[in-house]
Structures are given as C-alpha cells and as structure tokens.
Amino acid sequence: MWTPRKPTSTISLEDNLEAFSEGATMKSMPHAAEVMADFMVKTGFIPEKPDMSNLFEDRFIKASAQ
C-alpha cells in the first residue's frame, strides 16, 4: 500500500556550515562518518576503516557564506 511521504526540505546555509565542520555530534558529517565507519568495522560489514580525510569538501559552502 502506498503511503504519502513528507516533502523534501532544504537546509539553511548555517546548517550546511555546521554539517561540513568538524564536531562531536551527529550534526557534523565528518564525525557521523567516523561513527558509522567504526560501527561497520565492529560489525564486520567492512574489514577496516577507510581513509575519510578527503571525503567532505566544504569550499563551496564556505564560498556561499561570504
């Protein structure tokens, strides 16, 4: 049975800046990626944690903020 979905929403520039920044909560994409990678290694889904140092590029968000 089909159920209607909530509409897609956009997030603010401030929320994007927070998402692309280093942080200690799941609002930070770099932090969330680390947490999820640790979980995937722990559960055996992946053999080792990948290098995520270049996973997120924040230049376009920072440029939009100026």
> Which one, of 54, 49, 17, 55, lies nearest residue 36 by Cα?
49
Residue 15 has pLDDT above 90, yes or no: yes
Average pLDDT over residues 3-14: 83
Kindly indicate the confidence band of residue 30, based on its pLDDT and cuts at 50, 70 and 90: very high
Kindly indicate the confidence band of residue 45, based on its pLDDT and cuts at 50, 70 and 90: very high
Residue 4 has pLDDT above 90, yes or no: no
User: pTM of the entire structure?
Assistant: 0.78
Kindly indicate the confidence band of residue 41, based on its pLDDT and cuts at 50, 70 and 90: very high
